Amino acid sequence: MNVKKSAKRILAAAAAILCAACMGKATAYADGGVNAVREGTAAIVFAVKNASFYYTYDGVNFEKGESLGNQEISSGSGFFIGASGENPKYLVTNQHVIDAYMDAGEGDAVMIPYDVQVDEQGNVYVRCIAGTECELRVYFAKNDYEYATVVSEGDSDKVDLAVLELVDGPTAKRHALQLMAPTEDMAGDTVYAVGYPGNAENELSSASKYGVNDSTITKGIISRFVKDVKKGVDRIAIDVDIKHGNSGGPLVTEDGYVIGINNASVINTLYESAEENNYAINVTELTHFLDQNSLPYEMAGEGEAVAAGSDAVVSRSASSVPIVLIAVIAAVVVVILVIVIVLARKKKSAKQAGHGAGGSYTPAASQARGAVITGMKGMLANQSFPVGGSLVLGRNAQKCNVCFPMDAQGISGVHCQIRQAGGGYEIVDLGSSNGTYLGSGQKLTPNVPAALPDGMFFYLGSAEQLFQIKY
């Protein structure tokens, strides 16, 4: 049993009791646990009105195709923040969830590359989705949604956070979640990711997709706390399986407190075989972000919303708890604090006596994101892979960072490589049997690199295995 860890938690509980007694506030938020978190979570969808397919040849000539009506383009998850007991209007998500909406001009007409196709005559063209207007929707049920605007955004390659505001004001259909700063001694604790991953929908599911009970709860543990030394972002490494659509959803404790924002599943390319690592952004990054933008939130046990930049104090009900009882609770808190300090000093002394002074442990930094390739179509559709310094694609798991199934048609064991070149990136075919192509249809000469600008499409073997690079 970890006495120090237990004592800390007892201390925290005692402090919360004291706070509730003194302020006349009940700490009943956690009574609903993880299931209550679903009532504070929502699906965020980027949609295009009056959408149609358009075909572009060499990025110049356009030809209109079939009409699609109102078309949903991409989706993610988010959660509401604010004061307990009040209808919320702000919700948190990842910045990359709203990237496409921001790129489209937040409501303007839009032209979005969709895939690369080859017609019967061998002509290669890019199929785009075009529409008259963009929408950012916050769904409460299948056909029940409200529009949102972006009030603050970070940088998807750094602090990947954004805050949205409901256009029609506060809603009674969801409640705000409380935040809690995690501590190092929580490593190994059980946590849950709540959100709307795209792979939750399949032929065996008749879910409406966006209702409260359609949200997915995935269980795991905290592996460790890490800091990205290149970006300075605090993250939580978890073994919870983060899928496309989970982005922006809350990572919560068993009591339902938000300690992180589900962010990424990263392929580790440092070793011969690819390894998948899952991360959430530490909630301390969120509170700093909210403070900078003067946005309200509530911390666990506080019972009131914190509004950065405001001198106003939220009124608290006068305590009806006798002063003697408050004094007793305070004394218990002090005693526990003394016990924690004594135990900590004894443990430190024993460690130094048995092992020497030793050095402090610094967690390894998460891999820099840099450029990212995303599967737009085919076997790896909707999956993203950070390039880092180099990325090899193919079927050989021992030699490739991005691995296709062994029976993948048209994909060689070691097919192609993407690597840094100056201030950008380049792609080189590694002698594949069926070739590597740029989005324009240009087939690469084996072992001769070609520039891969930001936003460029490319495909392996055929246009069915389509990717796009962004950086």
Give the pLDDT of residue 342.
59
Question: How many residues belong to the chain?
Answer: 471
Asked whether residue 215 falls in the same domain as residue 164, the answer is yes
Q: Centre a 10 Å sphere on the Cβ of residue 242 and count the other Cβ atoms it contains.
A: 25
pLDDT score for 27: 36
Distance CA 69, CA 47 (A): 10
Q: Tell me if 124 is assigned to some domain.
A: no
Q: How far apart are CA 265 and CA 240, in angstroms?
A: 10
175 shares its domain with 200:
yes
Tell me, yes or no, whether 410 lies in a domain: yes
Judge whether 300 lies within some domain. Answer: yes
Residue 53 lies in a domain: no
Pair (300, 162) in one structural domain: yes
Residues 352, 277 share a domain: no
Find tokens 């065996």 and name the residue.
204
Cα–Cα distance measured from residue 111 to residue 93, given in angstroms and rounded to the nearest whole number: 24
3-class DSSP state of 186: helix
Residue 52 included in any domain: no
- Rounded to two decimals, the pTM is 0.58
Measured on CA atoms in the order 157, 196, 199, 70, is the torsion positive or negative?
Answer: negative
Q: Where are the beta strands (DSSP E) in 124-282?
A: 124-131, 133-141, 144-153, 162-166, 190-195, 216-228, 233-238, 250-252, 258-268, 275-282
Looking at residue 91, which CATH number applies to its domain? 2.40.10.120
Q: Residue 417 sits in which domain range?
A: 372-470
pLDDT at 334: 61
Residue 146 shares a structural domain with residue 284: yes
For residue 434, give the DSSP letter.
Answer: S
CATH code assigned at 442: 2.60.200.20
For residue 195, what are the β-bridge partners? Answer: 216
Digits of tens for pLDDT over the chain (471 positions)? 454 455 555 555 555 444 444 443 333 344 467 888 999 999 998 888 777 777 776 555 566 666 777 777 778 899 999 988 899 999 999 988 888 788 776 666 666 666 777 777 777 777 777 777 788 999 998 889 999 999 988 876 678 899 999 999 999 999 999 999 999 999 999 999 999 886 445 444 444 578 888 888 999 999 999 887 666 789 999 988 777 778 899 999 999 999 999 986 654 444 444 456 788 999 999 999 999 999 999 998 655 445 443 433 332 233 334 445 555 666 666 666 666 565 655 554 444 443 333 332 222 223 334 789 998 888 888 888 888 888 999 988 888 889 898 888 899 989 999 999 888 899 999 999 999 998 878 899 999 999 998 888 999 998 889 999 998
Q: How far is 232 from 282, CA to CA, in rounded Å? A: 12
Shared-domain flag, residues 161 and 224: yes
Domain end: 341, 367, 393, which one?
367
pLDDT of residue 206: 47
- 201 and 228 both lie in a single domain: yes
SS3 212: helix
| Domain end among 307, 340, 367 | 367
Could you count the other beta carbons within 10 Å of the beta carbon of residue 46? 24
Domain count of the fold of the chain: 3
Q: Which amino acid is at 400?
A: C
Q: Are residues 253 and 340 in the same domain?
A: no
- Residues 37, 21: one domain? no
Tokens 């936003």 sit on residue: 455
- Residue 26 has a pLDDT of 34
Please indicate, yes or no, whether residues 273 and 333 belong to a single structural domain of this protein.
no
The answer to whether residues 358 and 239 belong to one domain is no
- For Cα atoms 95, 100, 105, give the angle at the middle one, nearest 5 degrees: 105
Domain presence at residue 324: no
Whether residue 278 is found in the same domain as residue 378: no
Query: Quick one: DSSP state of residue 100?
Result: H
Expressed in percent and rounded to 5, the helix, strand and coil fractions of the chain are 20, 40, 40
Any domain includes 441: yes
User: Which of 315, 350, 383 is the endpoint of a domain?
Assistant: 315
Q: What is the pLDDT of residue 173?
A: 94
Residue 82 lies in a domain: yes
91 phi and psi, to 5 degrees? -140, 150
Strand (E) or helix (H) holding 469: strand 466-470
Give the end-to-end CA distance of the chain in Å, rounded to a whole number: 47
